[in-house]
Structure 1
Amino acid sequence: MKEIGEIKEVKGIEEIRKHIGIHQINLAGTNKELELQDAMPIFIFDYLSMSKPLRTRLAIHTCELSGNKFGSLDMIWVDGYDKILKEDLSSLENDSNFWFWDSNGLIPFAYIGKGAEKGPFSEHEGVLFLDATNNFRFEENHTGFEDMPIVLFHVEKDNEKLVPIADNFKALKIVKNKTDRQLSEQIKQEGNALFGEGDFEAAAEKFYEAIQADYTNPNPYNNLGMISQATRDYWDRGETFFQLSFLVDPKYTDGMRGYSGFPASRGDFEGAIKIMTKCVEIEKSALNYAILSRFYLDSGDIENAKKFYKEGAQIDPNHPKLLEVEESLEEHSF
């Protein structure tokens, strides 16, 4: 498995990644135990590309919605299996995170049903997983995600089971929303106006609507992340949507800049530097160099902080963020 910054490239992941966003799914008749509808909203995301702390919080969030206490031994049974997936769920150490990928080979990739249109960390009716529990390994003899069967955990049913839904991702009946970038941008601008007025909840609703109009438009994902920065709230949602913005558009540097502050806030300057290094490779701007220089400075690497400050100063020596870094470097030298 190849890792670039926080983004893990796994064979077959592009099949899911190109579906990221809000769509419709037909699950009617896929499982006799559940009365599933033929038109349900689905929000597809890329769990393996989320930061590790965020994956843990996604696990806790899903536990809470399903009525399970995180770490409880009285957990989920899987159809066709004769044992609980994890015998010891009481520790968060060594990646023992619920029934998720890190421990047991079940990879969440979508929320479905009412509320799913708001993506991760919203209320929803169910979670879809790729089932890699049969000792599946990403080795050369496997084709990737397309090999994995799909299972569903239905939150609102009194039925604590993961039930089979499809043989693989391609077998799912996903109806992609049509993309209308002009409409998406128009709705986003309406959200921006509400954002400027301080009506952040109404702005968020507009940004969700803008994603529905064009799930490939990185701007509304990014703007949902910006709400978390403006309000100092909704941190999990903000971190998720910043990452989604540059997953739907790998060259979207606004989202990279927005996201880089999250690992830095946890003291993970190495992670923040990886993201901003990638950002600088895409866009050599004074702002990007200033942020990268700041992360090196905060990590104690003065040599690289000076190096990238100078790179940025060659582009725009008077950029406000660079001037802040310059002042910090002078104070450090003094």
Structure 2
Amino acid sequence: MSISTGRDGRDLLNRRTFMGATADALASPLLSDRGLSSSAYAFRHGAFDIRVFSDGHMIVPASMLAIGAPADKLEEVLRRTNAPTPMAWPAANIPLIRVGGDLILVDVGDGRNFQPTEGELLASLRLNGVDPAAITKVVLTHSHPDHLWGISNSAGELNYPNATYHIGGAEWNFWMSSDVATSLPADFRGIVPRTQRTLAAIAGRVIFVKHGDEIVPGMKVFDTPGHTPGQFSLALKGEDGLIITADALTHEVISFEYPEWVNGFDLASDVAVATRRKLLAQVAAERTKLLGFHFSYPGIGYAEAFGSAYRFVAA
């Protein structure tokens, strides 16, 4: 697997800017207004009752999402998304799905361990009457901090103590490898110790899954690699289908209209670009509903053909 190297070395600068900004933000108690919502966006899809909770949002240099992109085009994208140039504020949308006797959480947010503008999930669940102990399954689409680090509290106790944890076997093997740090860009290697501790905390409850496996009937694992080696999305039966995209698509303008732009968080940019193109072609042709982790809340909509690429249409 090739690690993304971007263009003109600018990916390294962007990564350093992001990691430095994250460290500064973690040191500041005044960064964000953490007003929690007393409601979550709810809808039904086939047999699934779905509520979308927010874990807050990230603050990242927009250039991290579009390494080497023409500056004028990137500025135009930011204007359209009301982002505070030169930053982007990717949302963190986490679906809670009830089906049969199961209550399934898809990713767990960052637990206030990565960026102080995230980490709202647990409080939002409780505010909406959801006991974390009632969750029966946690699906981990991949192991980046904003999707994984909310598994346990500061004492190392599981926040979802009665759940089984479903993760791709390739993803687990990659992050738990003794030499994983050498496979990462230098400025991302600092996330490895906490990531490995977090995964180790669920070792006795983990269920490894692969492409085509069902979490429950009608909820199927759908490989979407490139962002990380073992990242997957979820395909849910019902109507024309629903795909919970994880980070195969990360921005409601960039990922759709400029799928060839290099995302600095993708570990294998060539694979990630190919995954985006294939996924977009499929969902646009089939009119499949999408739920994107990083799209503007609640992150639900469709892809439709637009010129030589696509555009996102919010549902």
Asked whether the two chains share a fold, i.e. TM above 0.5, the reply is: no
- Structure richer in strand, relative to its length: 2
More RCO (CA 8 Å, sep 6+): 2
TM-score, normalising length: structure 1:
0.26
TM-score, normalising length: structure 2:
0.27
- Structure richer in helix, relative to its length: 1
